[in-house]
Amino acid sequence: MSTSNHSAPMLTPQLFKEATIASFRKLTPRVQLRNPVMFTVYLGSLFTTLLWVNSLFVSTNESSQLILGISIWLWLTVLFANFAEAIAEGRGKAQAAALRRARTSVMAKKLTDLDRKTAVEIPAAELKVGDVVIVATGETIPADGDVIEGVASVDESAITGESAPVVRESGGDRSAVTGGTRVISDHLIIRVSTLPGQSFLDRMIAMVEGAQRQKTPNEIALAILLAALTLIFLMVVTTLLPFSLFSIEASGQGTPITLTVLVALLVCLAPTTIGALLSAIGIAGMNRLSQANVIAMSGRAVEAAGDIDVLLLDKTGTITLGNRQATKFHAAPGVPDRDLADAAHLASIADETAEGRSIAVLAKQQFGLRGRDMEHAKPTFIPFSARTRMSGVTIEGHEIRKGSTDAIENFVRQQNGHLPEAVRTTVQQIARSGGTPLVVSRDAQVLGVIELKDIVKGGIKERFAELRQMGIKTVMITGDNPLTAAAIAAEAGVDDYLAEATPEAKLALIREYQKGGRLVAMTGDGTNDAPALAQADVAVAMNSGTQAAKEAGNMVDLDSNPTKLIEIVNIGKQLLMTRGALTTFSIANDVAKYFAILPAAFATTYPVLKQLDLMHLASPASAIMSAVIFNALIIIALVPLALKGVKYRPVGAAELLRNNLLVYGVGGLIVPFIGIKAIDVLLSTLGLA
């Protein structure tokens, strides 16, 4: 399923309605207590509401209208924070609802005897780990498991969104199946690998629902910092009333600061902007990952992706296209290039592999060769065999073969031929350059060599350059020999490579980097990748891979696209950048609000503070009300940014910090001056303050 399939509008009418209702439902002390900053605002809202009720019956030295206005806007501040979180959760729950539709109640055909001929129908919820079930055409796979017999096309669109079916078969790295998917051809015998309620689909649903998301370590640390700042401001504000009373008693003039103003001051001083949006930022980060069709098994993994500095990438399918392709014909001395191409084309007519098709395409492109009339030629095709290591065709009395150097040399030797030294040299040159040589012969004559190469994906070198600029080291993992690996690594532009990689070698490499204090990310799909995936800090398992790989990883790519790892790193960095940018904006925001509310709060007690009123606000009451209103509105204004995330560009850390301070630091200082002044003018014009 492509990312675009998930590109839903940020706010639909239905989502707005549900988030609004949820905002009021969250107005309970137990929910508010989870966020200390907003809990402080919540208590301030309750307190000012009580002060307003008291002002209706008891004469006070402050306007009942002002108390009511501040109380209303404090409640709106809390509701806006709830709304931001509810919107983020709602987007995740919408996707979870779609996944739940795939989790239908089905009956399972459990095989009860050793010869697997007798089946009994039971509810899928009663299956146990190790049970063997048979699933026929048109039936739904009842539980996660591994195919132990059969090969079939499986419709996984309920999970991945892709309409094209995938092949699942016993053995290899494509044996894992997911409960809720449907067999559309043939049948499969599956061994159940998970208990009911613990399936991959269940875990996906739990993770995309924001309400069940666990906070990450960095998020917890920031929440503690914000709570500490709020506590400090609370202690500062509680001392202001005694100072005010003492100053009035000493000078004999002025009026003491009121409780309503103290509450407003506390709310404006506390980091309410980032406190209100912190949860929404984390949930939105998880949602962005799920929109990329990646399910994270923990929020910690998403955050770790933003801190990754070593990326381990498989060569095949990630760096290269995955199939070797013919790139050049090297004719033997005295043999016309066209004769070599013609023989190679004939030997590849029955070859349905990607390599065989690429040889036919190259012959057509370079020499215009096309298929000939095979009906009269009556060819005998020789399929490739691992024993002979060659394939070909016998046609019109000629034996044409293509295969490895040793195999063809032995073949022509049996017919009193030999391998020319020039051809041997060509073979060595191709191998040194990272290619694969296929020698072609006709009867006893060696015609030349076809050069096959792993084609490096277009644009991948530029992507690696971007990663290098971000401070991320790229390491290519391949089973090729060191010579071939070095050539491909140089062409792709990776920083390092691991050749002839074994599960033990991958694991040792990851541990070596981690001992140096580096965070490592990798992808894998096979059982042999499971140890390394379990060790990596960010481990992306392919959905098409084995159950062992998916259990070992902390993310699953539903598209089974190995290059998705680069996108995951970008999403992780975007999450960290968004949190950092809004934290910077919030702190700068608070500094600017001091110039509005402090002169107003102490206008009568300390007239000298009037010099700090840089905005020349209409009155102390208007200044306080304007600051409180702006404090509430800026939260709702920043919700789209929190959900979409700050745009990420692959630049160095120093430039990133500088841009962050310039845009969100300076912006956070300037915006409140403009916003508070505009609200003050509006209130004065309407006569509300």
- Residues placed in the known binding site: 351, 355, 384-391, 402, 525, 529
- Residue indicated by tokens 């580096």: 518
Smallest CA-to-CA distance from 304 within 411, 388, 216 is with 216
Helix count (H) and strand count (E) of the chain? 24, 22
Round to whole Å and give the CA distance between 262 and 202.
Answer: 48
Structural contact between residues 584 and 665, judged by C-beta atoms closer than 8 angstroms: yes
Helix (H) or strand (E) holding 493: none
CA distances, 509 to each of 58, 125, 221, 383, 501 (Å): 75, 42, 31, 40, 10
d(CA 265, CA 593): 9
What is the Cα–Cα distance from 617 to 613, expressed in whole angstroms? 7
Distances (CA, A) of 248 to 88, 602, 607, 671: 49, 11, 12, 35
Residue with tokens 């790989």: 549
Beta-sheet pairing, 538-542 with 520-524: parallel
Active site residue 314: yes
Task: Say whether 498 sits in a helix, a strand or coil.
Answer: strand
Detail the residues annotated as belonging to a binding site for Mg(2+). Answer: 525, 529
d(CA 517, CA 217): 17
Strands, E assignment, 271-355: 294-296, 310-314, 320-331
Helix then strand then coil, in percent of the chain rounded to 5, is 55, 15, 30
**Cβ-count burial of 443 within 10 angstroms (0-12 exposed, 13-18 middle, 19+ buried)?**
middle
**Looking at the DSSP assignment, which residues form a beta bridge with residue 473?**
310
Give the C-alpha separation, 136 to 497, whole Å.
44
Q: Are 474 and 451 in contact (CB under 8 A)?
A: no
C-alpha to C-alpha distances, 35 to 39, 265, 390, 590, nearest whole angstrom: 6, 19, 68, 19
Q: CA 91 to CA 7: how far, in whole Å? A: 11
Q: Which two tokens stand for residue 409?
A: 């040399």
Distances 423 to 331, 414, 427, 451 between C-alpha atoms, Å: 8, 18, 6, 12
Task: For residue 284, give every residue at least 6 positions away whose Cβ sits within 8 Å of its Cβ, in sequence order, or none.
Answer: 88, 91, 578, 642, 643, 644, 645
Annotated binding site for ATP: 351, 355, 384-391, 402
How far is Cα of residue 473 from the mean position of the Cα atoms in its chain?
19
Cα 110 to Cα 115: distance, rounded to the nearest angstrom: 13
User: Is residue 71 classed as helix, strand or coil in its secondary structure?
Assistant: helix
Catalytic residue selected from 314, 480, 557, 590: 314
What DSSP state is assigned to residue 316? B
The residue among 557, 581, 567 whose CA lies nearest residue 645 is: 581
Annotated catalytic residues are 314
